[in-house]
Amino acid sequence: MVDLKKDVKYIKGVGPNRAELLNKLGIFTLQDLITYYPRAYEDRSKPKTLYECADGEVALIEVVATSRIVETRFGRKTMQKLMIGDETANAEAIWFNQTYLKSKFSVGQKYRMYGKIDKKYRKIQIQSPVFDEYGVTQNTGRIIPLYPLTYNLSQNILRKIMENGIKEVYGNLPETLPDYLLKKYSLPSINQATKAIHFPEELKDFQIARTRLVFEELLMTQLALLKLKYHDTKKIKGITFSNKHKIAEMIERFPFKLTNAQIRVLKEIEEDMESPKMMNRLLQGDVGSGKTAVAMCAAYKAVKSGYQAVIMAPTAILATQHLENFEKMLADLNIKCELLISGITKKKKEAILEKLKDGEIDILIGTHAVLEDNVEFKNLGLVVTDEQHRFGVRQRSKIAQKGQNPDVLVMSATPIPRTLALILYGDLDISIIDELPPNRKKIETFAVTKRMQERVDNFIRKQIEEGRQAYIVCPLVEEGEDSGLKSVIELSEKYQKEIFPEYRIQYLHGKMRPKEKDEIMLKFKNHEIDILVSTTVIEVGVDVPNSNIMVIEDAQRFGLARTTSITR
C-alpha cells in the first residue's frame, strides 16, 4: 500500500529546497502532489509542416537543424539563432539569453519544436520554442499539462516531479467507488483517472478523468451532508403536531385558490409537522409565488396544535408587511399576532415580551430583535425565516434554541439550482414552488443601450403621470467608487435637477441607518415618493404594487440571481 502521507521532499527530484517551493503551493505530501491538478493543457502531439503553419499560430513542427547555433550579443542581452527546415520550407528558431543552447543541437539531427510561428517578409521564424530530440517526449509529442506555479519553480521541473509522483502511486491507489457505480456511469478507476488528469494521451482522456474525479467529490460531499443530516435527525426528537387540525382548514379561508405547487409543498410541510422528526425545510419560490401563504398555513397548524410560531424577516418594513397579511387572515380565528422590531418603545416592548412569555401571543413577527436573549416563548413550536440568505446559520440556530426543538422553515426567493441548494443547505429538505398564480401579469424585460436613454426617461414620465411609481437600481452608492459607473447619489441628483424636477425623488442605499431606510421604503410604499433610486438593498421583498417599472443601470454588474431578486 502506497503511503500518501509521505513528505513531498522524499519524492524523487524534490529535496529540501524544492520542497519549500512546493509547500508555497500547498503541496506537503504525496497526496497533495497528485491532487494538484493542471490549470490547462497544450496539445503538442500533432505536428504540422512549416508550409501549413499560419502566421501567429502556436504549433508543433518536426525539423532538421541545418546549421549550428549562432549567438549575437546586444549589450548584456544575447540572441541565439538556429537554422532549421523540413521538406516544405526553411526557418529560423530564435531564443534570447539562452547561451546553454549552443551545445544542444547537432547539424543534421531531427528535432520537435513547439512555439509561435512568425511568417513575415517571406521569412519564417519560430520564437523561443521548447524542443526535444526526435523520439523524445519530454516537452513535445504529447499533451502537456500546465500547472499554477510559484517563483523559481518552472513547468518542466514541476512536470518531472509530478511524473515521479504518479509513477510511485500508479496501480497502488485504493479504489474509493464501488464497482457498480463505475460500471453504471462508465467511469475509469481511481488509478486511471489520476494518471489521465495529469498526463492524458488524448484530450478526451482528460475529460473522462475529470468526470470521474468531479463525480467522486460531489458524491463524497453529499454523503457527508446526508450523514450529518440523518445523524442529527435521529439524535434530536422534534415536535409531533396534532393531526386533528389540518392545513386544509386554513387553505379554505383564502379568498383565492392556491396553486398546485403550493398544495404540494404544504403537504410536504404537514407530513413533517405531524412526524416525530424535527422539520428542517427550505422553501424556495420566485417572488409572488405564494411563500407567505404557505408560511401562514404552517403557523396556523402550529398554533392550533397548542404552540407558538415566530416569523423572522430581515427588515422592519417587511416584518410590518407580514403582520398586516397575517392579521388580515387570522384575526377572526382568535389567533393573536404581534410585531417586535427595534423601533418600538421600551414600554411596548416590555409588554410584548411579557405576553409572549405568558403565551398570550400566538405568532410573533419581527426582525433580528427576536434573537435577543430577553425574548422568551412559552411554547415555541415553529420558526420561519424569510429571505434566508439574509440570515446566517448561527442566527437560525439561535432562534430555534428558544424552543424545545421547534420545526424550522426557511424561505428564499433567490433562484438556486437544486444541486447548489443541496450543497448550501445540505442539512435541509427542499421544497420548491415552481408555479405562479394564474392571471399574473407577465414581466417584460428589455435590454437597451445608452442611446435610448431619452426614450426610457419618457416612458418613466408616462408611467408616473398615470399614477405609477418607478425604481432605478444602481451598482454604486457614491461617485468615485468605480469609474464609468452610475451611482445612487449622482443619479438621484441628476433626475431631480435635470430630468424630473417636477417629481418626488429619493435615494436609498445600504450605508444608511436601518431606521432611515425603513422610513424611505415606507414613504415609497405609501406613494409619497415617485421615483426611488437605490442599490440592491431593495431586494428584501417589500410589496409595492403601485410600482410597475424598474430600470437597472449598468446591469452587467449584477449576476443572474441578484437581478432576479431585485426585479420585484
The secondary structure of 146-180, three-state, reads ECCCCCCCCHHHHHHHHHHHHHHHCCCCCCCCCHH
| pTM, rounded to two decimals | 0.58
Residue 85 in contact with residue 63, Cβ under 8 Å? yes
Phi-psi region of 13 (alpha: psi -120 to 50; beta: other; left: phi over 0): left
Grid coordinates representing 14 are 524534490
DSSP conformation class of 58: E
- What's the Cα-to-Cα distance from 474 to each of 211, 486, 542, 565, rounded to whole Å? 40, 6, 18, 14
Quick one: which H or E segment has residue 317? helix 316-330
| Spans in the chain with pLDDT lower than 70 | 228-236, 388-396, 415-427, 439-441, 477-486, 537-542, 557-568
What is the Cα–Cα distance from 145 to 200, expressed in whole angstroms?
Answer: 9
Long-range pairs, 343-347, Cβ under 8 A, ≥24: 343/316, 343/515, 343/518
Quick one: which H or E segment has residue 488? helix 488-494
- Which one, of 486, 462, 273, lies nearest residue 384 by Cα? 273
Quote the pLDDT of residue 2. 84
Using CB atoms within 10 Å of the CB of residue 126, give its burial: 0 to 12 exposed, 13 to 18 middle, 19+ buried: buried
- Which one, of 82, 84, 85, 116, lies nearest residue 102 by Cα? 82
Residues 6+ apart with CB under 8 A from 181: 187
Q: Could you report the per-residue pLDDT of 233-257, keeping only the tens digit for each?
A: 555 678 999 888 899 999 998 888 9
The DSSP annotation for 364-394 comes to EEESGGGGSTT---SSEEEEEESSGGGS-HH
| CA angle (130, 136, 140) in 5-degree steps | 35
Using CB atoms within 10 Å of the CB of residue 420, give its burial: 0 to 12 exposed, 13 to 18 middle, 19+ buried: exposed
Quote the pLDDT of residue 388. 57
Reduced to 3 states (helix: H, G, I; strand: E, B; else coil), residue 111 is: strand
Quick one: which H or E segment has residue 523? helix 514-525
Quote the pLDDT of residue 415. 63
Residue 356 in contact with residue 326, Cβ under 8 Å? no
The alpha carbon of residue 501 and the mean position of all alpha carbons in its chain are separated, in whole angstroms, by 41
487: β partners: 476
Strands (E), 290-336: 308-312
Residue 64 in contact with residue 86, Cβ under 8 Å? yes
Quote the pLDDT of residue 447. 84
Q: Which domains does the chain have, with CATH numbers?
A: 1-41+145-235 (no CATH), 46-141 (2.40.50.140), 247-433 (3.40.50.300), 450-566 (3.40.50.300)
- Cα R_g (the chain), whole angstroms: 33
Quote the pLDDT of residue 232. 55
Question: For the stretch 154-191, what's the b/e string if a residue is b when 16 or more beta carbons lie within 10 angstroms of its beta carbon?
Answer: ebebbbebbbebbebbeeebeeebeeeebeeeebbbbb
What is the Cα–Cα distance from 28 to 422, expressed in whole angstroms?
Answer: 32
Place of cell 405531524: 274
Q: Could you report the per-residue pLDDT of 89-126, keeping only the tens digit for each?
A: 999 999 999 999 988 999 999 999 999 999 988 899 99
71: β partners: 80
What is the Cα–Cα distance from 500 to 81, expressed in whole angstroms?
Answer: 69
Quote the pLDDT of residue 393. 60
Cα distance between the two ends of the chain = 59
